[in-house]
Amino acid sequence: MTFKTIIAALLGILIATSSAFAERYVRYEQNDKILWGELVDGIIHQLSDAPYLGGKRTGDIAMEDAVKLKAPVDPNLSFMTAFNYRDHTLPGYEQDPTLRPGLFTVPVSSIIGPEDDLVRPADAKNFHYEAEMVVVIGKRAENVALEDAGDYIFGVTIGNDGSERDWQAGDIQWLRAKGSNNFNAVGPHLVTGLNYTDLDIEGRHNGVKSQGANSSGMIFNFNYMVHYISKYFTLEPGDIIWSGTMGDTGPMEPGDVYEITVEGVGTLRNKLVQGE
């Protein structure tokens, strides 16, 4: 057995061991209440609070297929990252010596869950999908050193950053184009224990693959984003950071479905409907 073979085998064991310790959480609606739970083999074990706030099992359970799943996030701040994959940037972007993350925020009111419909407003004509990975902050972060940033990331979920391209090109700011109501789907699960620096991401438009990348291809990875954002803003438990999208995006028409799969997390699936 060669040295390279031994190293590859050891890495495989480490990855498998890491996945074995992964925990999966959901946020769900039951009896007109929004609750948190830990998901194990299709059974939701209700938690007293969000898992990143130390929520403990209450003893109550529910079946996942018997409740309505909500977005497994409840942030105060939602940070997005523009032009963060090399195949989804402007010409000459990476050659800029002053390059820094294309950071912006959107209202958390734009967030919907895995069983909700994306809504194209009545005056919108060019709504695009954007496959992304999302991380959730686990503890208060201010001026975090890069080498410590991983300690502040609680877990990983999936996001579809719905974008109205005509508005994005025509408005002075991207707020309306990126943050309108029902634009940003997140879910279905929040998963801990994954190597978020090396996860495959795939997007499918009406069942046909349209986007794909690995999180290792991010220009500014999530650890750097925590480090960078926390220099200017205080991150609180539950706040979220989006990866930015990859490759080419495309328009969705009412009735279209977009699915995003992130390795180890699951699949986020949402349909687009026409608003009135």
What does pTM read for this prediction?
A: 0.91
pLDDT tens-digit series, residues 208-239: 999 999 999 999 999 999 999 999 999 999 99
- The answer to whether position 97 is within a domain reads yes
- The answer to whether position 73 is within a domain reads no
Same domain, 126 and 13: no
pLDDT tens-digit series, residues 53-103: 999 999 999 999 999 999 999 999 999 999 999 888 777 777 677 889 999
Same domain, 221 and 119: yes
Domain count, the chain: 2
Same domain, 13 and 115: no
Same domain, 189 and 214: yes
Same domain, 50 and 103: no
- The answer to whether position 171 is within a domain reads yes
Residue 180, domain extent: 78-274
At 260, which CATH number?
3.90.850.10
**What is the pLDDT, as a whole number, of residue 196?**
98
> Do residues 272 and 253 touch, judged by C-beta distance below 8 A?
yes
Same domain, 17 and 93: no
**What is the percent of the chain where pLDDT is above 90?**
87
Residue in this structure with the two tokens 């991207």, named with its chain if needed: 174
Q: pLDDT averaged over the chain? A: 93
What's the whole-number mean pLDDT along residues 136-164? Answer: 98
**What is the percent of the chain where pLDDT is above 70?**
92
- The answer to whether position 268 is within a domain reads yes
**What is the pLDDT, as a whole number, of residue 217?**
95
Which string of b and e fits 140-172 if b means at least 16 CB within 10 Å? ebeebeeeebeebbbbbbbbbbbbbbebbeeee
What's the whole-number mean pLDDT along residues 40-53? Answer: 98
